[in-house]
Structure 1
């Protein structure tokens, strides 16, 4: 059985760097850790030179001595592979390992993560050191797991070395087979980019105004992810040959241009996340308007993490002030904030929390990134708080192994995530909607999940087919799915979405959906393109909401709310819609396009109608929201980007808002997160403000920390957390 994430307990750890400290401190440090409940240390992720100081000369005496001590006193160890910081001899002797800027200038030795994944020399030398570590420590008593590299794609998530250029060319040749197919996919006839020889095809390079072919860029991001995933798999495959059966393999994230679902399937037992909510208080970046949801933003990051592994670990949890000597300065956590942030992680699915770091480094770039102990190493307030946290988590063993409970999911896939990164039209609506959905879910106490559709591709299938039944099983856990902007439509996901709706599910799709093909090129089909059979609507015209327009209102029955960023002007493709289909105050000529009955969807559109209309500007009277009755379910197409107001309207009208409102009355200042199994649910109530907040429990429940039965008006202190055990009856009725 695994020593952590075993479904039996929630455990604490810390990051330790024996190479930073005199050996005389080791025993004292480890014993002090155990005394406050820390049972696991992560080591070695930056320590290549401690084993291979010069090429080919390996000496494990240093870590042998440390692990002899951990074996002796019973401290568990997560062994990091040291590939995030190649040694100086390697960077100097093999310059092909270095990453480069887009203009070709190399990143030199002296920071970290300055290498590239595609250098043959780096893959060779990394494989050797990983194998040496795994062979030497794979059967060690105190080693319980392995961390691959460190923060893959942190600092930089783009790679432009010569090795990457050559690898990208091979990636494209494997994908497209011939230049005709590549030229077609990239639309290279535009601006005379047509390629006639594979030697002409390169990674994106420095251009005038930095503008690069968008279809090339999308393929480039896919390539970067492919490189990172194959890099991780090389290490995982080596470690699996030597590790003990119950020892795990993980890595810590999460960062850009990585398909983590693929990495999980190919290489990891679970993902871990590095959680630093103190970034919300970084000096020079303080915005008072964000106070209510400041460090609650990390709940969004934890939701992303949960989409990779429902039960996950925290490899680095904030425990002190943060900052490099070059920037990112932030204050010391206030009393209670370390507890709050720890419980935030646990509330979202973490069964292991490891604090960064034990002792604060007295030298180097991170000498202001404080750990639990300050430079002197003396006992302090934060150490006492860690001890108190341990006392609390010992009472939460019933929570271990329980998954986060949500009946609303936001759908994502990496093609659309990456497309929104460089396409400003997509980006403007995506950023608005993603922020609004998470904020509205927080304020209304409506738990949500993220589901990456690309996580259900068959990894053993060269054709990349979707495991539709497995995806449908996942989607069927939710009463409501929201795909904010399915700009790129991947045909492979449509069968599962269609079956979900046919079986009675509700699917909400936002504006700018369906207008791009898998290459990122715009479709010539009537919009919303391949989504027409599901949505039943037509989009004869669309526009950004002009800056001089003022508020554009939308009316849904008696509810009035505002549109954001964009306005798809909707009509229906059948005659069953309301009078709003044809708009208001329009001539017959203006409205003629609005009654189009497209043959390609007439057999699938059962009962589409306009639910809400725009009330302002020249598109007043056009549909802003349609609903299509499809099988036993419903598909809603919303013509705008989401804001908090519109999300709350959808939650309310579609019956998913505040599912625990019958049992808990919570103000906006408090976050509600629920973990549960078939027998019980555990409600985490978290106060991110420095002031005490009152809330009401409407039935008798158990406080997991105190063991007492509680009900009625309760007070939670500033930065306080309550964990309530809700009975089986709450599970059955929360979403009734």
Structure 2
């Protein structure tokens, strides 16, 4: 993060496409950006055909003029490498660069992200265009950094071209060294799948059952991640070599990439593309829906990758392609709310998508700040307000880190294994949402913490409580790390389907929950998957009852330090343990034999006496989010975000200053619909 933070300026800006507009518009566009207090533009991430109109012929004139003019207006420039959109001459002459479906049907030229990561010729062309661009712009005074590609694994996150199958064979051979090791790791003795030559190994292909060997499928995701990172490294290495003074990032948060590894190995910081209005298309189910507030969960995931980060596409208008993703227009104040949502969760650089809505192509309805007509509108006025505010306070926030004592724990192995395994995968999303809701509505800021082979006890010790809902895959190393955390005084919360698989996704021959049974102080007597016709039994506690959500495990206490704090209240399991608390060293482990709901998560928050860090001086309604960032001098910035379309009243017991207005606040304070206060 050093290169990013050392800019010592909060960077607010916009994505701009000079190639889409008559050149006589550019100067007026840049002038108006500066009037909005924008400092930065992102350019060129889809412009390969401009830079290399035919094979080996390079042209920089258009972007030279656009970048020079941006510099004249005092704007900094982020350049995207254009590899997400290979030009037609390339895909026509070298069709082996195209991705394919699992059935072997090759994608064709058009739209974007139709290439694969493993075609050698695509590596060569990608390396050449990146080198040409970086050599050309490495000394331009406006260019501050590079975005690799655009949204790795967006649109599609599986790859089945011939090049991918061949690369997978080599990847498997390098990882396992011998076919015996492959057969053991993938359990190929089952159904006579045993491999006797490397050429027999492929990525998953169609079959009669429409399923896959789960252990091969898990390695498939690991291979895709490694392929993506290797392709990103190809580009990052060139930039490091040619322009070491310019920073490197990439954008998006998509499937089948270990973004933590990629950021650690290649990037100066991570960037996210934030579109909270997707909540109008994919609302979370159940009562008390989070809707656009759920983007705090996405941003928490980003923050686990990069503690402070960039947002390279912040939604600024209604969204939609010509054939899908139809979203309504943001209501008055929502664009500002979403901007501060990103900043509250750690963004130190924010670029809106986009300056002006495209008049052609697939995204003619993915609206930007300006409409086609280029005349004033409500979104332009709102952007001016945001620019004016951040021009005054943005630098105060720079580098301040989000504060949380509770973390929801995730890991890539379980996420990838759970895509196929319906006996634990769907539970994680439901439990994560339930916990995030309970924490949000209790005004308890939370992090996401990813566990991997490099995680240390010091990484975990910054938290008092870890919530790890359904880690079916649990290694001895992770078990020992969590045990050390608990013995030192931490709390860990597990849910059903914990600990019964090894690194390959095969099941331990141990009583559930496998390698963490001793830590949890329980084993599982019996379990059941539930559905609408066979609902999960209720769980009775000292304060009432709550439902599990789709699964139940009957627990057997195995530790003298364990206490049953929840029992089933119906069915043939009535009176049997469902929720157990086990004391280990100076800490505590809770094991729940079900899938979490908002009610069960709230019960455990009360049980652990986890309360809002501001409850002594600030009273907040449920619809207002609390987020806290603290700078290196210990100064705290308290973000209050109203996600409601109605006024919300907060109570400030101790006088505080609203950073946005300079006003001293005490007593009852009314927040406007979609309003923001920073204390």
Give the TM-score, by structure 2 length: 0.97
Q: CA deviation at 1:50?
A: 0.9
Q: CA deviation at 1:713?
A: 1.0
Partners in 1 of 2:576 and 2:286 — Cα distance? 34
Contact 2:310 2:349 in 1 (8 A): yes
Q: Is 1:484 paired with 2:469?
A: yes
Q: CA deviation at 1:242?
A: 1.8
Partners in 1 of 2:472 and 2:642 — Cα distance? 37
Q: Is 1:537 paired with 2:522?
A: yes
Q: Is 1:336 paired with 2:333?
A: yes
Q: Is 1:318 paired with 2:272?
A: no
Contact 2:536 2:552 in 1 (8 A): no
Counterpart of 1:159? 159
Deviations 1:366-417 (A, max 9, x none): 1111111111212222111111001222224322211111110011110011
Q: CA deviation at 1:61?
A: 1.6
Counterpart of 1:613? 567
Contact 1:7 1:400 in 2 (8 A): no
SS in 1 for 2:300: helix
User: Which residues of 2 match residues 92-241 of structure 1 at below 5 A?
Assistant: 92-241=92-241
Deviations 1:301-356 (A, max 9, x none): 11111110110110000111111111111122121111011011011111111000
SS in 2 for 1:323: coil
Q: Is 1:565 paired with 2:550?
A: yes
Q: CA deviation at 1:40?
A: 0.4
SS in 2 for 1:71: helix
Deviations 1:529-585 (A, max 9, x none): 1112321211121112354455622233344322221112111224x2xxxxxxxxx
Q: CA deviation at 1:721?
A: 0.7
Contact 1:81 1:149 in 2 (8 A): yes
Deviations 1:606-653 (A, max 9, x none): x23323222221122221122222221112211111100000111111
Q: CA deviation at 1:215?
A: 0.8
Partners in 1 of 2:476 and 2:128 — Cα distance? 41
Counterpart of 1:52? 52
Q: CA deviation at 1:6?
A: 4.0
Contact 2:475 2:515 in 1 (8 A): no
Assess, with a 3 A threshold, how the Cα gap between structure 1 residues 375 and 140 changes in structure 2: closer, same or farther: same
Deviations 1:437-462 (A, max 9, x none): 111111111111001112xx4xxxxx
Q: Is 1:302 paired with 2:287?
A: no
Assess, with a 3 A threshold, how the Cα gap between structure 1 residues 81 and 546 changes in structure 2: closer, same or farther: closer
Partners in 2 of 1:138 and 1:241 — Cα distance? 11
Partners in 1 of 2:387 and 2:66 — Cα distance? 25
Q: Is 1:526 paired with 2:511?
A: yes
Assess, with a 3 A threshold, how the Cα gap between structure 1 residues 360 and 175 changes in structure 2: closer, same or farther: same
Match of 1:362 among 359, 365, 375: 359
- Greater shift after overlay, 333-342 or 2-11? 2-11
SS in 2 for 1:226: helix
Deviations 1:496-526 (A, max 9, x none): 2222111111111111001111111111111
Contact 1:280 1:294 in 2 (8 A): yes
Assess, with a 3 A threshold, how the Cα gap between structure 1 residues 130 and 290 changes in structure 2: closer, same or farther: farther
Match of 2:350 among 342, 353, 362: 353
Partners in 1 of 2:605 and 2:79 — Cα distance? 45
Contact 1:8 1:398 in 2 (8 A): no
Partners in 2 of 1:554 and 1:680 — Cα distance? 43
User: Which residues of 2 match residues 565-584 of structure 1 at below 5 A?
Assistant: 565-574=550-559, 576=560
Partners in 2 of 1:125 and 1:389 — Cα distance? 41
Q: Is 1:496 paired with 2:481?
A: yes
Q: Which runs of 5+ in 1 are unaligned?
A: 458-465, 577-606, 725-736
Contact 1:292 1:669 in 2 (8 A): no
Give the TM-score, by structure 1 length: 0.89
Q: CA deviation at 1:10?
A: 2.6
Assess, with a 3 A threshold, how the Cα gap between structure 1 residues 519 and 286 changes in structure 2: closer, same or farther: closer
Q: Is 1:275 paired with 2:274?
A: yes
Partners in 2 of 1:209 and 1:712 — Cα distance? 64
Q: Is 1:374 paired with 2:329?
A: no
Partners in 2 of 1:397 and 1:377 — Cα distance? 30
Partners in 1 of 2:7 and 2:299 — Cα distance? 19
Counterpart of 1:460? none
Partners in 2 of 1:348 and 1:91 — Cα distance? 40
SS in 2 for 1:298: helix
Q: CA deviation at 1:20?
A: 0.6
Contact 1:694 1:716 in 2 (8 A): yes
Alignment RMSD: 1.8
Contact 1:549 1:617 in 2 (8 A): no
Counterpart of 1:556? 541
Contact 1:509 1:638 in 2 (8 A): yes
Q: CA deviation at 1:704?
A: 0.7
- Greater shift after overlay, 189-198 or 670-679? 670-679
Partners in 2 of 1:449 and 1:102 — Cα distance? 36
Q: CA deviation at 1:658?
A: 2.5
Partners in 2 of 1:155 and 1:248 — Cα distance? 26
Counterpart of 1:733? none
Deviations 1:119-146 (A, max 9, x none): 0010111011111111111121000110
Counterpart of 1:420? 418
- Greater shift after overlay, 286-295 or 517-526? 286-295
SS in 2 for 1:180: helix
Contact 1:673 1:683 in 2 (8 A): yes
Partners in 1 of 2:271 and 2:531 — Cα distance? 43
Deviations 1:249-275 (A, max 9, x none): 100010000100000011111111101
Count of matched residue pairs: 677
Partners in 1 of 2:64 and 2:556 — Cα distance? 71
- Greater shift after overlay, 670-679 or 403-412? 670-679
Counterpart of 2:433? 435
Partners in 1 of 2:556 and 2:656 — Cα distance? 50
Assess, with a 3 A threshold, how the Cα gap between structure 1 residues 2 and 638 changes in structure 2: closer, same or farther: closer
Q: Which runs of 5+ in 2 are unaligned?
A: none
Partners in 2 of 1:321 and 1:168 — Cα distance? 40
